[in-house]
Structure 1
Amino acid sequence: MPFRDRSALRLLAARGTAAAVAAATAAVTGLAAAPPVHASPAAHGALRWAPCDDPAKPGAECATLSVPVDWDHPDGPGIDLAVARRKATEPGARVGSMVFGPGGPGDSGVRMVVGNIGRFSPEVRRRFDIVSFDPRGVGGSDPVTCSAGLLAERPSPELRSRADFDATLAYNRRLRADCRARSGPVFDHLDTGQTVRDLDALRAALGERKLTFHGSSYGTLLGAQYAETYPRRVRAMVLESVMDHSVAATREFLRSEAAAAQDSFQEFVKWCGGAADCALYGRDVRAVWQDLLARAARGELANPDRPGTALSSSDLVNKYAFRKFYDADYAGLATLIAGMEASTPLPASPTGTAPLPPATPVFCSDWRLPVRDYREYRSLVTTMDRAAPDLPYLLPIHMAAACLGAPTANPQHRLDAPGAPPVLLSNALHDPATGYPWAVSVARQLGRGSVLLTYEGQGHGSVTSGPCMEDAVDRYLTGLTVPARGTSCPAVP
């Protein structure tokens, strides 16, 4: 996802994945040029597969792939990327390897292959070796490391004054310097442009002449830029829940993200109005929700996960509602809201919002989202509030704050991938994080041969949402049969 507040925002203090902050303050005057086409990168050494170190989930094999820290200087320092695979369940029907591009940013592809292989359809598991990796700076691939003490000082993501804005900018500089010193040279080479070349090295190490790829959420950015950089090395590519990297302006990026989330809230309200099993059935759901937001703003709403402590309105939105929208768990959200409404109010007091989200350096290296000063920041908050009146201080504005102050290695640009084969895009009509208009835009950028497969339902992720979606994706991956333009699949209960 983009912006899913889980593994993408997870950090281990002394060692392990820690997110740093980086973005640009330079003004965006237009779209950047497309990346140049590079010579084929070569993996440093063969993949040596061995059983992964997880006896509870047998069957997966793990390896490491050595790549340069900086592909523009291939003879310089190197890093080892963690890779995992599960072999095709029917070797006689095997098509080849399919590489999965994890989301987040910051999700572990290794963990997906080892522990969540059910994410893929039975037909894909039967016909392909499913391979994924931890992107550079994540998990087992030279993870970014930062000071635990400095991370604990993260300021609130809700900036209420010029002093807050200036303090956040200063904190971001301190954290970047600390993470860079502790992580080494990889810290400045975490953008998707570098990962595109890692992906091509993995393709070569797997012995595949052309890449079969499935990218989900943030992984769609990796896939799209691979198709742009190496268009003639693509066999098949599925982009699920699509990021649009052509959205250049900070305001439009935040507005579109807010609109997508608000659309999911409206879908929740509509569902509750017609579902007798909704815990709020027959009531004014929006009024109940607004009352909860007001209680949270006054410091009177109890945190269901930390009894006796107050839940802020921002945490109510991002840690509870937004998460439920990902899986379209409307029944679960209604039950949660009903429980919060019935809870005993706490004595009114100031609330503490969860600390500034540790935006991964990948995101901040890929998105130039400049905010000149506190006045512009407040204007951006207002724009988001207008687009999402029921969801104040959504996570994307937190990310923009976390990304203040550093250069962006791979800024936004329109895709240009002449020579690429048809790409299959998949998106729900009501996706809370990667709104449907983004998928429409990227399909147009990829050209007339590419097709957007529409899931007429809700949630973040769609390729296995019912037999219609699953069969269309399976036919494309296995036999390169592209659905007819305009194909859509009904929502499943």
Structure 2
Amino acid sequence: MTKLLLAAVLGLGGVLAPQPVPAIQWEKCPPDPPYPAPGQGIECGTVKVPVDWSLPDGEQIEVFVSRSKARKQKLGTLVTNPGGPGNPGATPVMMAPEEFPDEILDSFDIIGFDPRGIGRSHGIQCDDALVSRAFTPPATQAAWDELVVHNRRLGESCRKRTGPLFDHLDTMSVARDVEAIRRALGAEKISFLGQSYGTLIGQQYAQLFPDKLDRLVLDGVVDHGLKTAAAHLLDGAKEAERAYREHLDPAQSRTVTLLFAKADKGTLKHGKTTVTPHMLTALLNEHLGADSMKEVIGNLATGKGEVPFEPPYVEIMHRATWCRDFSVATTFAQFGKAMAAARKAAPGIRYNAQSTDFVLGCQGWPAKVTNPPATPEVKGVNALIATHERDLATPKAWALRVAARIPGAGRVVLAATGHITYRRHAVTDAQKCVQREVSGFLITGEDSDTTCGI
């Protein structure tokens, strides 16, 4: 094939040029228990996409989509994703009046979708007995080897039960699905609101189709430039320690130090539960910045009252997608060295439990990294980056790095600890400030550098 002909049939990134996409046939949404039935103006449908985007005429799946039609004058089409990976993105739009501010409900057709492998979009199937197993950071080579074997067995069960889609769950494929949705909508351009993991979908859509984007909001930003397990662990630990030092007074910090000393000896108990150091770190990670933090620390110290322990667990789609997007495979020795660096960076809280869980979930996973880490500059996109000052799920440093790769991107910082800044139910003045900034950007396209809550 000549170079000229090859250029004619191939799209961006070596994927075959897009085929026509039939218009979405909108109809009444199916039941979505335990949520209430969608209200007036909300519809659902499907868009067919290839399992493998390099084979557009090959096996197809249906991506489930939902739409909340603009209540007043339509300014544009807003596609959203609430994150995960693993969250069914069609559901928030089916509940749009509870999820989006009035000014956005009035001005946009809002489109949600379940990404491939999730929910009603050919949801991934695995051996439930293997999925439900919890894990903690291995302390020995034998425990590490056992974790690797378990993850491999789990992944192979997913591949067997899910079929070919298992090997095409990377975020770049999801971004191409978003483009298929745009074409099926007949929209010349879309705006995109990505939150948490949804920000990676937005970034990769902007990479591939910058001329199809009107406005881009990234809220709680994932940095696809993280190239190693050590980088994930260190960034997470630094952010957790920042939150720890912000929210614990000296007396509480001394109490936590004593609790860790007991946990290290195996003598920290609450009721019938023996609290491990990992459980303590995870508990602190969960409650830093929350009103419950003081009570949780006090109850654990006295042995009285409730302490809401959550079992260590990684959502299956975290592994099925994350492990294709990030090169975090490592060895036990390298993991130990990286964890030592994390503990040095976070002497109070030790490390970030979510970062650790994500890294461990990918060890032994039987799928290649088909969407490797990258740091491309995205040009020609009108973008707004939103972040908390301290975010244990997606550190502020990630948001700043991504903003630097999008020339002219605006920034909104919520001066608090948390994850996801933009919500319908803004309570504090700082949250209302974020809502004004993000909604205003989506409606007018005008952004700025703003810190809310100082």
TMscore range, shorter length: 0.7 to 0.9
The one-letter amino acid paired with 1:404 is Q
Correspondent of 1:51 among 8, 24, 29: 29
Correspondent of 1:472 among 431, 437, 444: 437
Q: TM-score, normalised by structure 2?
A: 0.86
Q: Please give the per-residue CA displacement for 1:197-243, whole angstroms capped at 9, x wherever unaligned.
A: 10011111222111111000111111011111001010111011111
Correspondent of 1:232 among 211, 215, 235: 211
Q: Which runs of 4+ in 1 moved over 6 A?
A: none
The one-letter amino acid paired with 2:130 is L
Equivalenced residue count is: 426
- 2:347 aligned residue: 389
Correspondent of 2:412 among 449, 453, 459: 453
**Identical positions, percent:** 30
| Kept in 2: contact 1:146–1:179 (CA 8 A) | yes
| Relative contact order, higher structure (CA 8 A, sep 6+) | 1
The one-letter amino acid paired with 2:48 is S
| Kept in 1: contact 2:117–2:169 (CA 8 A) | yes
Distance 1:316 1:144 in 2: 32
The one-letter amino acid paired with 2:83 is G
Correspondent of 2:321 among 351, 355, 362: 362
Distance 2:310 2:141 in 1: 19
The one-letter amino acid paired with 1:82 is F
Correspondent of 1:286 among 248, 253, 262: 253
| Kept in 1: contact 2:23–2:185 (CA 8 A) | no
* Deviation of the 1:63 alpha carbon: 1.8
Task: From the superposition, tell whether residues 355 and 250 of structure 1 become closer, same or farther in structure 2 (CA, over 3 Å).
Answer: closer
- Are residue 179 (structure 1) and residue 143 (structure 2) matched? no
Distance 1:220 1:38 in 2: 25
Task: From the superposition, tell whether residues 356 and 429 of structure 1 become closer, same or farther in structure 2 (CA, over 3 Å).
Answer: closer
- 2:121 aligned residue: 141
| Kept in 1: contact 2:226–2:326 (CA 8 A) | no
The SS at the match of 2:414 is: strand
- 1:340 aligned residue: 300
| Kept in 2: contact 1:314–1:353 (CA 8 A) | no
* Deviation of the 1:482 alpha carbon: 2.2
Distance 1:432 1:191 in 2: 23
Task: Note the aligned Cα RMSD (angstroms).
Answer: 2.6
The one-letter amino acid paired with 1:431 is D
* Deviation of the 1:184 alpha carbon: 0.5
Task: From the superposition, tell whether residues 290 and 478 of structure 1 become closer, same or farther in structure 2 (CA, over 3 Å).
Answer: same
Task: From the superposition, tell whether residues 357 and 200 of structure 1 become closer, same or farther in structure 2 (CA, over 3 Å).
Answer: closer
- Are residue 264 (structure 1) and residue 243 (structure 2) matched? yes
Task: From the superposition, tell whether residues 380 and 61 of structure 1 become closer, same or farther in structure 2 (CA, over 3 Å).
Answer: same
The SS at the match of 2:321 is: helix
| Kept in 2: contact 1:99–1:132 (CA 8 A) | yes
Q: Please give the per-residue CA displacement for 1:246-278, whole angstroms capped at 9, x wherever unaligned.
A: 122332222011111221222211xxx4xxxxx
Task: From the superposition, tell whether residues 286 and 364 of structure 1 become closer, same or farther in structure 2 (CA, over 3 Å).
Answer: same
Task: From the superposition, tell whether residues 476 and 62 of structure 1 become closer, same or farther in structure 2 (CA, over 3 Å).
Answer: same
Moved more, 286-295 or 254-263: 286-295
Mind listing any 5+ residue stretches in structure 1 that lack a counterpart? 1-33, 274-282, 346-350
* Deviation of the 1:401 alpha carbon: 1.9
Moved more, 435-444 or 166-175: 166-175
- 1:3 aligned residue: none
* Deviation of the 1:168 alpha carbon: 1.9
Matches within 5 A, 1:90-489: 90=72, 93-115=73-95, 117-152=97-132, 154=133, 156-269=135-248, 273=249, 284-302=251-269, 308-318=272-282, 320-325=283-288, 328-329=289-290, 331-343=291-303, 354=312, 358=316, 359-371=318-330, 373-392=331-350, 394-405=353-364, 406-418=367-379, 420-447=380-407, 449-464=408-423, 465-483=430-448, 486-489=449-452
Q: TM-score, normalised by structure 1?
A: 0.80
The SS at the match of 1:107 is: coil
| Kept in 1: contact 2:214–2:382 (CA 8 A) | no
Distance 2:157 2:137 in 1: 23
Mind listing any 5+ residue stretches in structure 2 that lack a counterpart? 1-11, 424-429
The SS at the match of 1:255 is: helix
Distance 1:478 1:125 in 2: 11
The SS at the match of 1:412 is: coil
Moved more, 214-223 or 42-51: 42-51
